[in-house]
Amino acid sequence: MQNVRWWDAAAVAVAVVIVAISLLDPPFGTDDAATWAAAGAFLLVHLAWGRGCVPVASSRRHLAVAIAYAVILAVGTTIEPSFAILQAFLYPFVWSTSPSTRAAIVANLLIAVAIVAGYAVRHWPAGLVTGTAIAALSVGFSIALGLWITRIAMYGEERARLLDELQAAQGQLAAVHRDAGVADERARVAREIHDTIAQSLTGLVMVAQRAERRLDGVDGAGAASARSDLELMEQMAREALTEARGLVASLAPVDPGAGLAEALRRLVTAFERETGVRVTATTDAADLDRELEVVLLRCAQEGLANVRKHAHASAAEVRVAAGAGAVTLEVQDDGVGPGDAAAGDGGFGLAGMRDRVALVGGRVEFGPGASGGTVLRVTVPRADAATTAPDDPTGVTS
């Protein structure tokens, strides 16, 4: 019951009960008026000060409120022993709002002492015995019940903590499974493209070359026209084959488990073997989290795919450098340059890269290099750096 309105209602109810008990025995005298005044003082202290302890008070405030309640209880019990019914409110209140178990026990003992003092002053010396018995029974029950409830609450909090940890672990496991599923699907699609479309296009190129060789000994306008068609067929097949190989390269999963530098080395080695373009890779960024490594690897794949498809380059370079709170990936080639193309234009495949980089708060720059060719630059903030997202909301500049 940590709603302050419920505590207010309980305080009003116990005060009404105290007043009602005094009204059962007319005529009314000075003791009755004093009892009503004590009940009113209790309500005033609670509404002005005590209710501020809900749900949990500081140690100093809790002790001060407990002392104030104990004084009112002692005075009221001295005037009218039935005023001790106030303990039905005070024991659970000081226990529920205490900052610690020790503070709750101290407050309970203060209330018990107040009951003993009130009875002792009212009926000495018999009141001392009566008050002690009542206080011992009530405070013993309150402490036992409070400790039991506290243990249950602690058990519940521990279960909630373990449940949160379990849910977090399940979320991480689901993310790992999703990543593994995506990687497997990318590998499957890449294999299928390589084993079907790419192989068919390779066969088409070979057939076109063979047919062209057969026409070498044939004269006439028809042979020239057929040779022209075959050359066009071969050119289109080669272009389609280049696109298919670029798609396979962009889809092929690269395992970042060995580290970013090793993954880039494998990537550029495969690229050189397939295209004949010389590629160098340098990395001086370490201790990156897995998400950033995957983003940088995918961006490097897309950058090299653009080199394969559009640059007509003889050499390229992939660089990863760590700066102040950010990591930068650059893919530069010595090819024909981007011309009038801009990041995100159709055919360059940078729209997906833009979205991927924007998810981690980074930005993409794409344009001509200072000495020719094309430069793709991706900048992403490190997860352990207190940096803000870039000003460009789209994450792309050109």
Q: Would you say residue 89 has pLDDT above 90? A: yes
Kindly report the average pLDDT of the chain as a whole number: 82
Say if strands 326-333 and 278-283 run parallel, antiparallel, or are unpaired.
Answer: unpaired
pLDDT, position 87 = 93
Q: Which domain holds residue 315?
A: 255-398
pLDDT-derived band at 395, boundaries 50, 70, 90: very low
- Of the chain, the end-to-end C-alpha distance in Å amounts to 60
Going by pLDDT thresholds of 50, 70 and 90, the confidence category of residue 213 is confident
Q: Is residue 267 part of a domain?
A: yes
Give the end of a domain, one of 77, 100, 122.
Answer: 122
Sign of torsion, CA 170 175 178 184? negative
pLDDT confidence of residue 222 = 64
Gap between the Cα atoms of 358 and 395, Å rounded: 5
Question: SS3 helix, strand, coil % of the chain, rounded to 5?
Answer: 70, 10, 20
Pick the last residue of a domain from 122, 138, 169. Answer: 122
Q: What is the CATH number of the domain that holds 279?
A: 3.30.565.10
pLDDT of residue 239: 73
Domain end point (choices 122, 142, 160) = 122
Span 235-246, mean pLDDT?
72
Based on the structure, what is the number of domains in the chain?
2
Query: So what's the pLDDT on residue 398?
Result: 35
Residue 295 located in a structural domain: yes
Residue 107: pLDDT band (50, 70, 90) is very high
Is 137 contained in some domain? no
Q: Which of 9-13, 236-240, 247-251 has the highest mean pLDDT?
A: 9-13
Q: By three-state DSSP, how is residue 283 classified?
A: strand
pLDDT one-digit tens code per residue, 135-187: 999 999 999 988 888 888 788 889 989 999 999 898 888 887 887 777 777 77
Is 387 within a domain? yes
Query: Does pTM top 0.75 for this prediction?
Result: no
Residue 216 lies in a domain: no
Residue 224 within any structural domain of the chain = no
Question: Is residue 240 a part of any domain in this protein?
Answer: no
Q: 383 lies in a domain?
A: yes
Q: pLDDT-derived band of residue 347, with 50, 70 and 90 as boundaries?
A: very low
